[in-house]
């Protein structure tokens, strides 16, 4: 289970895990709230976003929370889940369970991705490009949480359009699901795939 942010609400102000208190929208991606949690099957769990909503009733306000969680094994499998509850800890637990139930396999080319991909979800657009070894992950914290969880180590990315954390995370996951290795494309078309032999360099 990921480390739970402290439930510290005062004066009707929202809580931003790992950061200062904010407005009614609660936490935003970019705050340092992604703590890795180890599961029995070596899964890492990260809290991407926590949002607080309130309902005005006769006795006052009733608060509820939603948590967006990403889970991955850092070997090509990743899942995204949303949990809702009246307590932050319970919302995180539900989100983690939902993410584990919806894990998908991602096609990777070693430490990077096999090709460039542009994906959309809602108003969010995410561009992912392969990078040479040693580049690292050039991405915002929402995109980084998803990419790191599936095991990518070198990638270039750009988030366009909406900055909504849920849409950006879902756009990133949708882009990763569209990745295909060359041999998989050949196999789907019924063509035999023959890897190219390395070119020998003649000695001077």
- Residues 35, 63, single domain; the answer is yes
81, 104, 127 — which closes off a domain? 104
Q: Is 112 part of any domain?
A: no
pTM for the complete prediction? 0.71
Whole-number average pLDDT of the chain: 80
Is 36 contained in some domain? yes
The answer on pLDDT for 172 being more than 80 is: yes
What is the extent of the structural domain holding 172? 117-188
Question: Is the pLDDT higher at 169 or at 185?
Answer: 169
The reply to whether 202 falls in a domain is no
Q: Which of 49, 69, 104 is the last residue of a domain?
A: 104
Q: How far apart are CA 8 and CA 95, in angstroms?
A: 20
For residues 27-38, give the mean pLDDT. 42
Assigned domain for 39 exists = yes
Domain-embedded: residue 27: yes
Show the DSSP H helices in the chain as ranges: 88-101, 141-150, 165-177, 182-188
What proportion of the chain, given as a percentage, has pLDDT over 70?
Answer: 75
Q: What is the pLDDT of residue 191?
A: 81
Kindly give, in sequence order, each residue whose CB lies less than 8 Å from that of residue 25, ignoring residues fewer than 6 positions away: 14, 51
**Looking at the structure, do residues 67 and 157 belong to the same domain, yes or no?**
no
Q: For residue range 110-120, what is the model confidence (pLDDT) as tens digits?
A: 899 999 999 99
> If you average pLDDT over residues 169-186, what whole number do you get?
88
Q: Domain for residue 198, yes or no?
A: no
| pLDDT on residue 19 | 39
Do 92 and 151 belong together in one domain?
no
- What pLDDT, on the 0 to 100 scale, is given for residue 31? 41
Q: Of 44, 70, 104, at which residue does a domain stop?
A: 104
pLDDT greater than 60 at residue 37: no
Do 155 and 85 fall within a single domain? no
Tokens of 33: 């709230």
In this structure, are strands 117-121 and 137-138 parallel, antiparallel, or unpaired? unpaired
Neighbours of 97 (CB within 10 A): 14
Total count of domains within the chain: 2
Q: Mean pLDDT over residues 147-157, rounded?
A: 92
Query: Which pLDDT does position 70 carry in this prediction?
Result: 95
């Amino acid at each position: 289970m990921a480390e739970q942010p402290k439930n510290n609400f005062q004066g009707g102000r929202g809580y931003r895990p790992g950061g200062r208190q904010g407005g009614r929208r609660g936490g935003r991606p970019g705050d340092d709230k992604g703590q890795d949690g180890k599961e029995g099957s070596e899964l890492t769990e990260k809290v991407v976003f926590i949002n607080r909503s309130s309902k005005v009733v006769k006795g006052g306000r009733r608060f509820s929370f939603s948590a967006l969680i990403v889970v991955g094994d850092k070997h090509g499998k990743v899942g995204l889940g949303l949990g809702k509850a009246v307590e932050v800890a319970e919302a995180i637990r539900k989100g983690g369970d939902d993410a584990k139930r919806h894990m998908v396999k991602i096609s990777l080319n070693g430490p990077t991705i096999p090709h460039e991909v542009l994906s959309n979800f809602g108003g969010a657009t995410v561009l992912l490009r392969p990078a040479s070894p040693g580049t690292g992950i050039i991405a915002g914290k929402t995109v980084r949480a998803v990419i790191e969880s599936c095991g990518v180590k070198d990638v270039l990315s750009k988030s366009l359009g909406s900055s909504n954390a849920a849409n950006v995370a879902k756009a990133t996951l949708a882009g990763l699901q569209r990745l295909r290795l060359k041999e998989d494309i050949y196999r789907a078309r019924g063509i035999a795939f023959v890897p190219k032999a390395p070119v020998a360099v003649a000695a001077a």
